[in-house]
Amino acid sequence: MAWFRKWRVLAVAYSFATVVAIREVVVSRSQEPVAWPSEEWSQMVEVVGAINPEEPDTKWLESMESRIEGSVDDFTLPLEESLVSDIKHNEFLLQDYAQLMLDRGADYRIVNWAANRWRENHPFTSSTLRMELSTGITSDEERAFLLDELAAIAWLDNAGVASDGEGGRQHILLDFHPAIEIDIRDAVEVATMLTLSLEQRASFRVWCRTLEDCTLVPR
């Protein structure tokens, strides 16, 4: 057992570290995760903010806390402050900002930049970008038309439609391809086609200069 005498200090240290690690795993699995929004969440954000006030992840937590209070401007600022640091590891932050820019109707170039930054740093994410439909789907035929048109967009890996409950707002769920640059105007063009009659859809397609400035062009 000469090897043990030589390395006994290191062996004891590793054994102790292993026991501590196992204990942390067991404890963490025995507890429920902190729900958002909740009083426990608010307390956690307060503690993290006191310890690491300038960390990008702290800014993201603060933005989540601001949403509880319903202040869009207050939760936008921490997100933008986090992005200045060139943060990459926090997918939730990158996704939140891309979704926020789309929801607020920001300049399409900002939406594209945010969505592509998310895609480049987390190319195999299972999360989706949600785009609200201003004109709802009223039939299976319209749903099939929409999905067929979306399938032709190169940067879309998959797409679906979801509703906020019965009779609620409808959204397109955009699952992007990991290797192709996103241009959100492509999805807006397809969604806008739902406003056209069947005759118009056969003869025209929609071309969007911005997220709001769209025109009909012959097929």
For 90, the 3-state DSSP assignment is coil
Q: What is the CATH number of the domain that holds 194?
A: 3.30.70
Does the residue 148 lie in any domain? yes
Does the residue 65 lie in any domain? no
What is the pTM assigned to this prediction? 0.74
pLDDT tens for 59-110 read 777 777 776 666 666 667 777 887 888 888 889 889 999 999 999 999 999 9
Rounded to whole angstroms, the Cα distance separating 86 from 107 reads 21
Does the residue 110 lie in any domain? no
Does the residue 30 lie in any domain? no
Tell me which residue range forms the domain holding 146.
Answer: 127-218
Query: Going by C-beta distance under 8 Å and a sequence separation of 6 or more, which residues neighbour residue 94?
Result: 87, 88, 114, 117, 118, 121, 122
Q: How many domains does the chain have?
A: 1
Whether 34 and 41 have beta carbons less than 8 Å apart is answered as: yes
Does the residue 180 lie in any domain? yes
Does the residue 8 lie in any domain? no
Rounded to whole angstroms, the Cα distance separating 86 from 29 reads 32
Residue of 197 and 66 predicted with greater confidence = 197
Does the residue 29 lie in any domain? no
Does the residue 89 lie in any domain? no
